[in-house]
Amino acid sequence: MKKRSSARVGDNKGFFERVYEVTKLVPYGRITSYGAIARYLGVEGSARMVGWALNSSHTANGYIPAHRVVNRNGILTGKHHFGNSSTMQQLLENENFTVIDDRVVEFRERFWDPSVEL
DNA sequence: CTTGTGACTTTGT
DNA sequence: TACAAAGCCACAA
């Protein structure tokens, strides 16, 4: 019989922890999208979960470069969650990124796909 | 077990 | 090009 409640069986580690791991693996000067991470985790249809997990990234053990994770259009959708709206953009610019109107211009060139790179 | 929510993505009008 | 709606899965209460 199947118990389709909150209880998971195959996954010992929480989904959040996986997102943290992948996000921390993003190299300096690179950028990725929620969908790419979700796809790598096997939940392509649930890109929202990646962003939601990063929402709790501050509770994770260690620093999570969440500023390197943007939506598929390269837009800083979660900039508001960095404390200040300009924090995420500032971090990206600090890594030689070009952010115009909350969008990363070099998104396509510096896109890093975990399902491809790893 | 049911309901609500969310830093997304895709498709249609 | 712009807006709206549906789909999707995990987690908390």
Residue A82 CA and nucleotide C12 C1' are separated, in Å, by 22
Closest-lying nucleotide for A47 based on CA to C1': B8
Residue spans of the domains in chain A: they are 15-106
pLDDT score at A11: 55
Kindly report the bases of strand C lying within 7 A of a protein C-beta atom: 7-13
**Is the Cβ atom of A41 within 7 Å of strand B at any atom?**
no
The mean per-residue pLDDT over the stretch A32-42 comes to 95
Q: What is the pLDDT of residues A60-117, one digit of tens each?
A: 888 999 999 999 999 999 999 998 889 999 999 999 999 999 999 999 999 999 999 8
Cα dihedral across residues A50, A57, A112, A93: positive or negative: positive
Cα dihedral across residues A96, A29, A110, A32: positive or negative: negative
CATH class of A15-106: mainly alpha
Between A7 and A90, name the one with better pLDDT: A90
- State which residue has its Cα closest to the C1' atom of C11: A6
Using the predicted structure, report yes or no on whether residue A9 has a pLDDT greater than 60.
Answer: no
Mean residue pLDDT of chain A comes to: 88
Residue A92 CA and nucleotide C8 C1' are separated, in Å, by 29
CB distance A103 to A92 below 8 Å:
no
- State which residue has its Cα closest to the C1' atom of C9: A46
